[in-house]
Chains A and B, each alone.
Chain A
Amino acid sequence: MLSKWLSRFRFLTTGKSRAQVDEELQFHIDRQTEANVAAGLSPAEARRQAAIAFGSREGARDQCREQRPIWPLESLLRDFRYGLRGLGRNPGFTAVALITLALAIGANASVFSLLDQALIRALPVRDPAQLVVLSFAGGVSGHVHSDGGNTPGHRHEFSYPMYLDLRDKNTVFSGLIAAASAPVGISWNNHSESVPAEMVSGNYFQTLGVQPAVGRLFVSGDETSPGANPVAVLSFDFWKSHLAEAPVTGRTLLINGTPFTITGVAAPGFRSMVWGRVPSVYVPLTMQKTVEPDWEYLHDHHSYWLNIIGRLRPGVTLAPAAASMNSLFRELRASEFTTVHDQSPKAREAFVDRARLNLDAGAKGFSPMRDDVRTPLTIIMGMVLLIIGMAVVNVASLLLVRAAARSREFSVRFALGATSWQFLRQLLAEGLLLGIAGAAIGLSLAPQALHLLIRWMSSGSPDAPAFSAALDWRVLLFTIAATLIASLLFSLAPAMQFHSPRLTDALKQQTATGSGSSLRLRRTWVALQIGFSLVLIIGAGLFVRTIQNLRSVNPGFATDHLLQFTLAPELAGYPPSQVAPAEQRVLDAVATLPGVRAVGATNDDDLAGDSRGGDVAVSGYTPKPDEEFDVELSWVSNGYLQTLRIPILAGRYFNASDTATSLKVAIVNASFARHFFGSPGAALGHHVSRPDRPKTDSVIVGVVADVKHTTVRDPALPTSYTLFTQEEKPSALTYYLRTWQPPDTAANSIRAAVANIDSKLIVSDISTMKQQIDDSILAERTIALLATAFGILATLLAGIGIYGILAYSTAQRTREIGIRMAFGARRGTVIGLIVREVLVLAGVTIAATVPISLLATHYVRSQLFGISNTDLAVYGSAILIICLVAALAGFIPARRAANVDPARALRTE
């Protein structure tokens, strides 16, 4: 049976041998000859008649071959073989086309991979389509701990009591989970380090459907009461990279000095319900006080710190679920309102009546980081698509030139009986070959490019990057689709030239001066290349200027020789009362290091994208009705303002006489003073405090100049500086040193000095202020770097493309040029003629492209800084560059043409 199938398969694939077919056909003719002889013809005539009756033997044999089931595949392979030979004959052309395609496709795959991870991919959990993200509208009173991602009417942080009520009283969710992130200090095998942790609800892993890789994950019983659940789950990546996949279940590790029992390791690939968070360790929410010793959130209705995601019950849709949850939410808010200080009807309206719970589809999870990267990634993807367009145009124009040069070959083949369909297939096969080879090279480079890009983007951060460098099937699919479409486009471009059935015209065109549709087509290609690259160069110019502007922003303090690091004694297990003294010891120890001129510290680090705001009550100032004026509240050491060299405008700096027990003092900045008192001088002597917290009352003893705080892009915030030693609560600090030592040397001596105080203290995030500023403008730098790379690439491609087209068309005009020179035209005139033509074309294209660029750059305005999207200098230089490239690309073939001996030129053709 099997052998029968095998022989049948062999028959179908290989078909009959040529000899067999020949013998069969020969038999037919012989038999007809015999019949003719029998009918009375002479043998010779009988044979002749038989042959005539049979017709073309070659034709019959070919037709028999075409009946083979495998024939279509065979002819396709033949087309490819032929295409391969054709490409091999023109290695220069093939190399340029392949490099172009590989770069475009590699860039496409890498950038799309980032885009896919950030904006498209769903969380790697069970049935992500059932997930919804919760947010709310309505007033808040108290402390908000936010990682960002909020929009008006959509606050994503909830209190723990609110979460418990929503979780236990709802009827629409099969599970409601909550999480918050914080850095922790962990100690393992006598090794301490600071890692990101996520506090999660007990039902977190079960609701998401995340499986353990080892041991068990949390269950509801792991979230019982505050402080009672010292258990931890490790992330797979952390377990692999830091613990070498050692058996960990049941072992103990110290988190902020408290022993936790490890129950298990989460499944590989899972990180968090919030995209962009990469926690190393998960602990139950009930351990919040251990993770963040500064804060006590668990019982407080007015501490907003938890992100909430729910999984809808099967069959429940979003709208009815939202309606049901909203009535519950209003009830809860109404009962919460009784604990709010301000009981006015107005406050009630803001807190209860305007409260609304939003349920948003959450397959991709909630993500503040996604909002940050959306615009930059979209812009970069736009640039990549331009590059792909550019590559298509470029390869199409190269193919066009090549096809035009082959018009003779095509004409001859056409005369021999080839059909237009065969030509088309031929061109498609060559295009596809180029596309597939280009994609293969591009894709093989993409993981490396992606890896470099991710490493570059996460430079300066010790944490694992949110992006993964692995290409997944979506990226492959997208790349294959892009490649196929691109191949189709560029291989059909030359086919347009042969659309005309009167192919013999092509023969005549060979000797013409270049006119008609093919010339128009070539001009279009040149114009497209100039247009594409102009847009990219303008974009690159705008982003490079943005970076220059951002780097040269004066933040208001001296950024040179400034080194920073963070240190949190609580993460080493210090009790609250011991934190401030330990911090003072660190300040004193670091101040005596060689080369250090000044040392200061703050709990509100500068230019890190963070802020710590709140409202204040100011003596002698009556707030306007409805006034909501938040100020930045920084707790600093008494050397901080001097170390950063923030100029004093009135009064005095903090000094050694301001101690933990002396009169509480504050220094405010110019914006603060202007808002509350009208002028800096008027602020001195007034009191400032947190509303309803008389213990925080401080007297203003100085006014300093404004400095940039959140990022260099944002304007200065009204700020009140108070001394960390005079505050009620401890806080982790960021230390600033003005040092004349090289950063590396200084870092080593800082570590040594701190270890000398206590080896459990963890010094982290050592960097210079300039690095810090660079990190804070990472998105802009990434765009600028890629825009520059793409701009250069586009210019090169345009140069190559224009050169290719002009080299061909001037070669075609050799005869015309010969005639002109025979009539006395000088070499310069001939060169001028050709270069002028290119420049005129470039001019027309630029005139058409500039409005398009204005429109395109209009959409990236949000990413620009200190420069308008209509900046004249950028547009001018871009136009100059593209004209130079076009002129150069035209000049080389023009000079070659002008060097031709007129007599010889006239004899061509």
Chain B
Amino acid sequence: MPPSTDLLQGTLDLLILKTLALEPAHGWGVAQRIEQVSKNVLQVGQGSLYPALHRLEYKGWIQAKWGASENNRRARFYSLTTAGKKQLEAELANWDRLAGAITLVLQQV
């Protein structure tokens, strides 16, 4: 297994929102996609994935619906709400700011 990097605190929410912005997915799908896209660098711990999904749902940023999975089983599909889209934009802007700042500091030294 390739070495995994611990997710930055709060980053998981951003990753989930971004993933769901592309298309609705169930929990396993979200984890799978994050791993694939990050080329297995980012491993989403299941213990934190579902609490995060539920938290976002309680906040009203994503909504859940039962639907049929790719292998025709009942699964819970999450999709972004309007509020979630706004939140994603805000968090992306925030991330850009943070990443830019870190880059600036790293280049300086």
Measured CB to CB, the residues of A under 8 A from B are 8, 11-12, 15-16, 20-21, 23-25, 27-28, 30-32, 34-35, 53-56, 59-60, 63-64, 66-69
Q: Given A27, A28, A56, A68, which contacts B58 in the complex, CB threshold below 8 Å?
A: A68
The verdict on B71 contacting chain A, using a C-beta distance below 8 Å, is: yes
| Contacting residues, chain B, for A11 (C-beta < 8 A) | 58
Quick check: A67 and B51 within 8 Å, CB to CB?
yes
Alpha-carbon gap, A59 to B49, bound state (A): 12
**Beta-carbon contact of A30 and B73 below 8 Å:** yes
- Chain A residues lying within 8 Å of B76, measured Cβ to Cβ, are 20, 23-24, 27
- Tell me which residues across on chain B come within 8 A of A31, comparing CB atoms: 26, 28, 69, 71, 73, 75
Q: Please determine whether B51 and A27 come into contact, CB atoms closer than 8 angstroms.
A: no
Contact of B50 among A12, A25, A35 (CB under 8 A): A25
Query: Known contacts being A34-B71, A55-B45, is A28 close to B54, with CB within 8 Å?
Result: no
Partner of A67, one of B45, B58, B75: B58
Cβ-based interface call for B74 (8 A):
yes
Does B24 interact with chain A (Cβ within 8 Å)?
A: no
B28 and A63 contact, CB distance less than 8 A: no
Docked pose: A27 CA to B69 CA in angstroms: 10
Cβ–Cβ contact B69 & A66, under 8 A = no
11 CB contacts below 8 A, A to B, read A8-B60, A24-B50, A27-B75, A28-B50, A31-B71, A31-B75, A32-B28, A53-B46, A56-B47, A60-B47, A63-B51
Given contacts A55-B45, A59-B47, A60-B47, contact A27 B54 (CB under 8 A): no
Check if A60 sits within 8 Å of B51, measured CB to CB.
Answer: yes
B47/A55 in contact, CB under 8 A: yes
Interface residues of B in 35-79 (CB under 8 A from A): 45-48, 50-51, 54-55, 58, 60, 69, 71, 73-76
Chain A neighbourhood of B54, CB < 8 A = 16, 21, 64, 67-68
Q: Say how far B64's CB is from chain A's closest CB, in angstroms.
A: 8
Q: Report how far A69 CA is from B60 CA in the complex, Å.
A: 12
B73–A63 CB distance below 8 A: no
Q: Mark B67-109, 1 if CB is under 8 A from A, else 0.
A: 0010101111000000000000000000000000000000000
Return chain A residues, CB-CB under 8 Å to B47: 55-56, 59-60, 63
Residues of A within 8 A of B60 (CB): 8
| Contact between chains at B26 and A27 (CB < 8 Å) | yes
- Least distance between B9 CB and chain A CB atoms (Å): 15
> A27 to B28, Cβ gap below 8 A?
yes
Contacts A27-B75, A31-B75 supplied; 19 other A-B pairs, CB < 8 Å: A20-B76, A23-B74, A25-B50, A27-B28, A27-B69, A27-B73, A27-B76, A30-B73, A31-B69, A31-B71, A35-B32, A54-B46, A55-B46, A55-B47, A63-B47, A64-B54, A67-B58, A68-B54, A69-B58
Q: DSSP class of B's interface residues: helix, strand, loop or mixed?
A: helix
Inter-chain contacts of B26 with A (CB < 8 A): 24, 27-28, 31
Chain A residue, CB-CB nearest to B26: A27
Q: Are B55 and A67 within 8 A (Cβ)?
A: yes
A847 to B46, CA, bound (A): 66
Q: Is the CB of B46 within 8 A of A27?
A: no
**Complex: A16 Cα to B57 Cα, angstroms:** 10
CB distance from A591 to the nearest CB of B (A): 93
Q: Which of A28, A56, A64 contacts B51 (CB 8 A)?
A: A64
Q: Bound complex: CA of A59 vs CA of B71, how far in Å? A: 27
Determine the main DSSP class of A at the interface with B. Answer: helix
Interchain CA distance A708-B16 in the complex, whole Å: 93
A20 and B66 alpha carbons, distance in the complex (Å): 10
Sorted nearest first, the 8 A-B pairs with minimum C-beta distance are A63-B51, A67-B54, A31-B28, A67-B55, A54-B46, A28-B28, A24-B76, A64-B54
CB distance from A69 to the nearest CB of B (A): 6
| Residue among B28, B55, B69 having the largest count of chain A Cβ atoms under 10 Å | B28
Give the most central of A12, A21, A55, A60: most B CB within 10 Å.
A60
Considering the chains assembled together, what is the distance between the CA atoms of A15 and B58 in angstroms? 8
- Which residues of chain B are near A53, meaning CB under 8 Å? 46
| A191 → B minimal CB distance (Å) | 73
Cβ of B27: which chain A residues have Cβ within 8 Å of it?
Answer: 24, 27-28
Q: Which residues of B contact A21 (CB under 8 A)?
A: 50, 54
- Is A60 in contact with B69, judged by CB distance below 8 angstroms? no
Q: List residues of chain A with CB within 8 A of the CB of B50.
A: 21, 24-25, 28, 60, 63-64
A12–B51 contact, CB under 8 A? no
Residues of B within 8 A of A68 (CB): 54, 58
Q: Which of B27, B47, B54, B76 has the most CB of A within 10 A?
A: B54
Q: Which of chain A's residues have a CB closer than 8 A to the CB of B73? A: 27, 30-31
Shortest CB-to-CB span from B29 to chain A, Å, is 8
**Which residue on chain A has the smallest CB distance to residue B32?**
A35
A27-B73, A27-B74 known; A12 and B58 CB under 8 Å? yes
Q: Which residue of B lies closest to A70 (CB)?
A: B58
Q: Which residues of A contact B32 (CB under 8 A)?
A: 35
A54 proximity list for chain B (CB < 8 A): 46
Question: Residue on A with the closest CB to B46?
Answer: A54
Q: How far is the CB of A128 from chain B (nearest CB, A)?
A: 49
Q: Looking across the interface, which residue of chain A has its beta carbon closest to that of B70?
A: A31
Please give, as numbers and ranges, the residues of chain B lying within 8 Å of A30 by CB-CB distance.
73
Chain A residues positioned under 8 Å from B28 (CB to CB): 27-28, 31-32
A417 and B83 alpha carbons, distance in the complex (Å):
39
Cross-chain contact of A28 among B45, B46, B48, B55 (Cβ < 8 A): B46
CB distance from B83 to the nearest CB of A (A): 12
What's the nearest-Cβ distance from chain A to residue B95, in Å? 23
Q: Mark B9-30, 1 if CB is under 8 A from A, else 0.
A: 0000000000000000011100
> Which B residue sits closest to A63, measured CB to CB?
B51
Most buried by B among A8, A24, A27, A34: A24
Contacts of B69 in A (CB 8 A): 27, 31
A736 to B69, CA, bound (A): 106
Shortest distance from the beta carbon of B2 to any chain A beta carbon, whole Å: 15
Complex contacts, A59 vs chain B, CB 8 Å: 47
The complex places the Cα of A168 from the Cα of B30 at a distance, in Å, of: 86
A69–B54 CA distance with the chains assembled, in angstroms: 10
Considering the chains assembled together, what is the distance between the CA atoms of A11 and B58 in angstroms?
A: 8
**A12, A31, A64 — most chain B CB neighbours (10 Å):** A31
A20 to B32 Cα, complex, angstroms: 21
The CA-CA distance from A20 to B28 in the complex, in Å, is 15
CB neighbours (8 Å) of A55 from chain B are 45-47
Contacts of A24 in B (CB 8 A): 26-27, 50, 75-76
Question: What are the residues of chain B within 8 A of A56 when measuring CB–CB?
Answer: 47
CB distance from A553 to the nearest CB of B (A): 77
Complex contacts, B71 vs chain A, CB 8 Å: 31, 34
Q: Cβ of A60 and Cβ of B46 under 8 Å apart?
A: yes
Distance, CA A21 to CA B53, complexed state (A): 11
Contacts of A27 in B (CB 8 A): 26-28, 69, 73-76
What is the CB-to-nearest-CB distance from B81 to chain A, in angstroms, rounded to a whole number?
A: 11
Bound CA span A31–B69, Å: 10
CA distance A18 to B58 in the complex (A): 15
CB-CB under 8 A from A66, the residues of chain B are 51
Shortest beta-carbon distance from A196 to chain B in Å:
66
Smallest beta-carbon distance A670→chain B, Å: 91
Identity of the chain B residue whose Cβ is nearest the Cβ of A27 in the assembled complex: B75
Q: In the complex, what residue of chain A is closest to B45 when comparing beta carbons?
A: A55
Bound: A783/B50 CA distance, A: 67
